[in-house]
Structure 1
Amino acid sequence: MIERRLLDQDHGLALTPAGADWLAELGVTVPSGTRRPSVRSCLDWTERRTHLAGTVGAALCRHALDTGWVTRVGTTRALVVTGSGRESLQRHLGLADETLVGSGGAAAA
């Protein structure tokens, strides 16, 4: 999202106007008026990679689950990217297959 200028990290991580438009085009609704930060980076301790957190990250994750881009692994927080999710994430973010698959076959949204 940073490479596509949907997020900016020049003065701390922030959603850009283009990022807000992109989310709206996807149909992602980001709740406002919460105590949770809008956007922040969070280190995933299992994959040792950062992921998008905050209300934007949660809304995007909910969208990915609701549209079937990802599914949960049992009752854990782990997610697996589905075939339609691969196509959608490649189309909307230009992500390659190796970016979408983690060490255990799961990927974070």
Structure 2
Amino acid sequence: MTELTEPQAWTLIGVFTAAMFSMMGLITGMFTRVVRAEIGGLREAMDAKFEGMDARFQGIDARFEVIDAKFQGIDARFEVIDAKIDSVHRRLDGIDRDVQVLTRRVFDHPTD
């Protein structure tokens, strides 16, 4: 068996330490690249999903606008109906007054 001298042992320790640090640096760099690539892929997938959701929400907003327009048309129709009902109420009030006047004439001043 051969024995190492102290300078040879320190040289081997230095070479081994340098090799370990360089391997750790390479592995860290590769790991960082892989993580960045995965995050980039995830970002693209999420952007695509969000764009799809935005398109769906825009479609729903368009549908709600159509429904709002229909409700506005229905509200306009109800306003017309309310105006007609008010007109009928005014006419009935007029008829009621006329009937009361006629009733008073007939029952208060009988001509018999």
Specify if TM > 0.5.
no
More helix, by proportion: 2
More strand, by proportion: 1
TM-score (norm 1): 0.17
TM-score (norm 2): 0.17
Whichever of the two has the greater Rg, that structure is: 2
